[in-house]
A = this chain, B = another copy of it.
Amino acid sequence: VALDELTVIERYFRPLAGEGAFDFFDDAGLLSVPSDRDLVVTTDMVAAGVHFLPGDPPDSIARKALRVNLSDLAAKGAMPRAYLLSLALGERTGEAWIEAFAKGLEADQREFSVTLLGGDTIVVAEGPLISIAAFGLVEKGRMVHRFGGRPGDALYVSGVIGAGAAGLALLRHEAGPWQKLPNETRKWLIGRYRVPEPRLALAPALTACASAAMDISDGLVGDCDKLAAASRCSAEIAAEQVPLPAGLDHGGDAATLTRLLTGGDDYEILAAMPPEREAAFRNMAGEAGVPVARIGALGAGGGQTQVTLAGRDFPLYQRAFVHGARRKR
């Protein structure tokens, strides 16, 4: 970047400053937390070649970096308020990239009612790499955890599973049934990989009904393993009940189905639901306009999630998608 960083802040980031950011004329931001709310904090990094492709549009990179964090807040039942942005630019990142990146953030700030509280910009040999820390508020004592699920709870997912994985496969020109889809559908799948949809509309239904929840970032099956382990339960998923992208016919092909169930980049919600609250959850989700589907249940015991197809054990060649060696901590 030939640009002075103060100029970058002045031109592109200052318009993103919200309450408590002091227009970035300070060392730190200030966040007021109402006394009836808890603050939920999360952080996720995205890097070129790991979470996005180097040629992806800068505005979609910005939106993905923000949305993967908002997705974590949604799964905890929290409504987002603000975020911090750490941006490591590559030595050859130009002003046009930064401008488009900031425009992506601006669009999503409006869409999700969040503002930028502060940040740091550095230049490194290899970039860009973006780390966001996001802050959300939840009614005191009502944060939804990964643990808390109990044997007998139903498992639900929002939206469809495998769209992000199919989008990435398309961007990588990998063979599969996604290649046969109409142009519009392929564009939609790629869009789901590049710009996930954080399910914030589902947050109230989760705090009201769920015993446990998490967002699905590394593939449904592996993430279900994590929810079950944190809840000290076993888990069963019936593959035919998992909503897949419309028109994507895996034809019973094990490799394709595995890819969709374990491919990652879904950013949908996986939630455990006590049976007596299932009806209320479906109602609330319906009113919020978020499709949800029952895909299985938690059981007693432990071990890895058992996946069945039409009542028979379905063998998986992998359980989770590894972004480089990315793991949530």
Q: Residues on A close to B: CB < 8 A?
A: 1, 4-6, 8-9, 13, 22, 24-33, 35, 38-45, 47, 49-51, 72-73, 75-76, 78, 84-86, 88-89, 117-126, 129, 131, 133, 135-136, 143, 145-147, 214-215, 230, 323-329
Closest residue of B by beta carbon distance from A34: B35
Determine if A25 and B120 form an interchain contact, defined as CB atoms under 8 angstroms apart.
Answer: no
Output the least CB separation between A16 and chain B (Å).
Answer: 10
Determine if B47 and A29 form an interchain contact, defined as CB atoms under 8 angstroms apart.
Answer: no
Determine if B126 and A27 form an interchain contact, defined as CB atoms under 8 angstroms apart.
Answer: no
Determine if A35 and B38 form an interchain contact, defined as CB atoms under 8 angstroms apart.
Answer: no
Closest residue of B by beta carbon distance from A148: B26
Q: Mind listing 8 A-B residue pairs with CB under 8 Å?
A: A25-B146, A41-B118, A43-B133, A45-B131, A84-B133, A119-B329, A122-B325, A133-B133
Output the least CB separation between A322 and chain B (Å).
Answer: 9
Tell me which residues across on chain B come within 8 A of A27, comparing CB atoms.
Answer: 42, 72, 75-76, 146, 214-215, 328
Output the least CB separation between A118 and chain B (Å).
Answer: 6
Given contacts A28-B41, A39-B33, is CB(A145)–CB(B47) below 8 Å?
no
Determine if A230 and B129 form an interchain contact, defined as CB atoms under 8 angstroms apart.
Answer: no
**In whole angstroms, how far apart are the Cα atoms of A199 and B5 in the complex?**
27
Given contacts A76-B28, A143-B30, A215-B27, is CB(A43)–CB(B119) below 8 Å?
yes
Output the least CB separation between A52 and chain B (Å).
Answer: 12
Contacting A324 at CB < 8 Å: which of B28, B118, B123? B123
Determine if B118 and A329 form an interchain contact, defined as CB atoms under 8 angstroms apart.
Answer: yes
* Known contacts A29-B40, A41-B133, A120-B329; 13 further A-B pairs (Cβ under 8 A): A4-B327, A5-B325, A5-B327, A8-B327, A26-B230, A29-B41, A31-B40, A31-B41, A33-B39, A44-B86, A45-B120, A49-B125, A122-B325
Closest residue of B by beta carbon distance from A73: B28
Output the least CB separation between A232 and chain B (Å).
Answer: 10
Determine if B26 and A30 form an interchain contact, defined as CB atoms under 8 angstroms apart.
Answer: no
